[in-house]
Amino acid sequence: MVDGPIGFIGTGNIGTPMAANLILAGYELHVYDLDPTRCEALLELGAELGGSPRELAESCSLLMTSLPGPPEVEEVLLGAEGILKGASPGAIYVDLSTNLPSVVSRLAAAAADAGVTMLDAPVSGGVAGAEEATLAVMVGGDEAAFEQCRPLFEAIGENVFYMGASGQGALVKLINNQVSLSARQVVVEALVLARKAGLDPAKAHAVMAVSSAGPHVGRSERLLAREFDAPTFTLQLAAKDLGLAQQVARDAGAPAPLAAAAFDALVRALGRGYGGLGTDATTLVYEEGAGLDPAMGDERAP
């Protein structure tokens, strides 16, 4: 059971619909983002705007963050105007971001020193899942705190998992993203191969969709239409997530050569300036390597 207002920090593409679903579930929210205009939709739903993470922590005993990555989470928790500067002992802090398990463990220890319990609770399902409250939520940390927060997780997701100790939620999120992002690069590579070999990629996709490759080639409409702009999840964020998964693999001493190859494709696309496009924009890099015109898909003249 959660009493009093909830502080929600980070109202981006996924944070905003998650926060909105909490409001619709009957919770009182105090919200903050570096760009206050990103909070406007939530203010219209009845949220109250705060001036800093510290200010939210002074008025809320439960804080949630949805942020780009480890540096932002660390700053929001430990910074001069961070959560721990305003939180009272007994508060709970829930990080919904994608993070490194090692960073989570360190931040959870710092929070515990201040009497604050931290849960790592990354989510999966994208913007559509956030809007429809169908996300998968994977939680690590104190089990009693998890049970206390369960109604919040169920307000934003259909599949809620308690994974165990601090950092385990972050770990399984990176493992999940390692699979999804790496597999996606195989699909991109295959469709470029089809084009290079003289086969219409759309026809190749139609066959794969009803064959053994079917489970891996879904949601390819924008890829086939070469619509790489206006993404809800950018190539830059994908590279960040897969890079974190690579770091976890190195730390654990687990080989991950296929994920490393997919990460290399993302990094090469970043180097071409495609970071703000969708993840499938690696198509342009594969086409370049195949000697194809990225604009038309035709083989370049020698």
pLDDT-based confidence at 295, cuts 50/70/90?
low
Q: What is the pLDDT of residues 112-131, one digit of tens each?
A: 999 999 999 999 999 999 99
Residue 173 among the catalytic residues: yes
What pLDDT is recorded for position 2?
Answer: 76
Q: What is the pLDDT of residues 199-224, one digit of tens each?
A: 999 999 999 999 999 999 988 889 99
The pTM of the full predicted model, rounded to 2 decimals, is 0.92
CA-CA-CA-CA torsion sign (205, 209, 215, 220): positive
Q: What is the pLDDT of residues 56-69, one digit of tens each?
A: 999 999 999 999 99
What pLDDT is recorded for position 1?
Answer: 61
pLDDT-based confidence at 297, cuts 50/70/90?
very low
Domains of the chain (ranges, CATH numbers): 6-164 (3.40.50.720), 172-289 (1.10.1040.10)
Q: Could you count the other beta carbons within 10 Å of the beta carbon of residue 96?
A: 29
Helix pair angle (282-289, 168-196), 10° resolution: 40
Average pLDDT over residues 86-91: 97
What is the DSSP pairing of strand 123-124 with strand 135-140? antiparallel
DSSP code of 80?
Answer: T
Average pLDDT over residues 89-104: 97
- For residue 124, what are the β-bridge partners? 136
What pLDDT is recorded for position 117?
Answer: 98
Tell me which of 85, 173, 196, 240 is the catalytic residue: 173
CA dist., res. 286 & res. 275, Å (int): 15
Q: What is the pLDDT of residues 3-42, one digit of tens each?
A: 899 999 999 999 999 999 999 999 999 999 999 999 999 9
Predicted confidence (pLDDT) at residue 260 exceeds the cutoff of 50: yes
